[in-house]
């Protein structure tokens, strides 16, 4: 198809028509920090928008490869970003439905001969037209176990990623060092991944901001002293084992709400206000074992 090189193109209008600005704005609202991640998502969205406009005016080119790898520690927003990416892909016409199917090794790999292929194909069938998000993808490959069937699942995934690129986007996720090792052992998988995005850990101030957003979503809030106590809590918790960024924040808030409810119940003889019911006080935070175990210098394996 011939195209006039002088054909005017207004990308701003195309951007608005696609409605992907709504998704990008939502991503900015949902996720505190993560500037390098958001920058990459904006860049990928721009690439896809320009590619779509090029197609519309007859500038043919091979479809961009869209399979991705998200690396980072738990609780850094990988699943949330994958969900928003599926919506961007759908609005720009790169996937039919735009849904996200999130799985782990257990959903793909069977425990006996003949079990893995049907499991993997069923998951792929559910994900077709959208995004397949495989968390801790490196567990698919266990070369030390001769009777492991993960390699069979990987082979099926590779074929699908190559032959169904116009109907399925696969996002692999996990710790960066383990994903690097996984790709070193699976060159076929590495060659199919076009975009590698690393999710940094949150800082203490960012985690406090995340906590405030989580509380507001459930009609709670910190008192000034409560917010200060939570900041201290986070700084201690970050030095302990099994810290999982926003996931640990969510768990801590669940425990704080439990303590708040018990505190209010004990004062049942007095009339409570809606502000009482909404407010997390410093004592609801400082009752955590983190303060006691953190000050002793011992790393806690399970803390609340």
Rounded Cα distance, 178 and 191, in Å = 17
Phi, psi values for residue 173, rounded to 5°: -140, 155
Name 248's bridge partners. Answer: none
CA 216 to CA 210: how far, in whole Å? 10
Q: Is 138 exposed, middle or buried (0-12, 13-18, 19+ CB in 10 A)?
A: buried
**Are the CB atoms for 63 and 70 separated by under 8 Å?**
no
The predicted pLDDT at position 304 comes to: 57
All domains of the chain, ordered by start, with CATH?
Answer: 65-199 (3.40.50.300), 204-295 (1.10.8.60)
Q: What is the pLDDT of residue 5?
A: 66
C-alpha gyration radius of the chain: 23
Neighbours of 271 (CB within 10 A): 7
Residue 6 backbone dihedrals phi, psi, to 5 degrees: -95, 5
Rounded to whole angstroms, how far apart are CA atoms 4 and 155? Answer: 44
Determine if the pTM surpasses 0.75: yes
Contact 172, 69 (CB under 8 A): yes
Residues (pLDDT < 50) of the chain are 1, 296-302
Task: Give the pLDDT of residue 19.
Answer: 87
Structure tokens at 298: 């011992």
Q: What pLDDT, in 10s, does the model give residues 155-167? A: 999 999 999 988 9
> Nearest-CA neighbor of 53 among 86, 92, 25, 85?
92
pLDDT for position 297? 47
CA 58 to chain CA centroid, nearest Å: 36
Q: Alpha helix locations (H) across 128-273?
A: 150-163, 176-185, 187-192, 204-217, 224-237, 245-266
């Amino acid at each position: 198809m011939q195209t006039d090189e002088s054909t005017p193109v207004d990308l701003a209008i195309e951007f608005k028509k696609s409605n992907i600005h709504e998704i990008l704005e939502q991503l900015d609202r949902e996720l505190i920090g993560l500037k390098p991640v958001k920058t990459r998502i904006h860049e990928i969205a721009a690439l896809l928008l320009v590619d779509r406009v090029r197609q519309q005016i007859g500038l043919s080119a091979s479809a961009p490869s869209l399979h991705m790898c998200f690396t980072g520690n738990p609780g850094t927003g990988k699943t949330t970003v994958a969900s928003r990416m599926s919506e961007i892909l759908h609005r720009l016409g790169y996937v039919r439905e735009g849904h996200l199917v999130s799985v782990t090794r257990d959903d793909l790999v069977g425990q006996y001969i003949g079990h893995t292929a049907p499991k993997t194909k069923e998951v792929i069938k559910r994900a077709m037209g959208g995004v397949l998000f495989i968390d801790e993808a490196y567990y698919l490959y266990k070369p030390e176990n001769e009777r492991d069937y993960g390699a069979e699942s990987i082979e099926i995934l590779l074929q699908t990623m190559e032959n169904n690129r116009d109907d399925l986007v696969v996002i692999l996720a996990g710790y960066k060092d383990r994903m690097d090792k996984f790709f070193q052992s699976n060159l076929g998988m590495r060659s199919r991944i076009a975009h590698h995005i690393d999710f940094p850990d949150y800082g203490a101030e960012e985690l406090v901001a995340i906590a405030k957003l989580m509380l507001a979503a459930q009609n709670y809030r910190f008192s000034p002293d409560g917010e200060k106590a939570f900041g201290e809590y986070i700084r201690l918790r970050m030095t302990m084992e099994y810290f999982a960024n926003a996931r640990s924040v969510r768990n801590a808030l669940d425990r704080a709400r439990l303590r708040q409810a018990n505190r209010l119940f004990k004062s049942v003889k007095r009339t409570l206000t809606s502000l009482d019911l909404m407010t997390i006080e410093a004592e609801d935070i400082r009752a955590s074992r983190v303060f006691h175990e953190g000050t002793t210098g011992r790393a806690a394996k399970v803390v609340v």
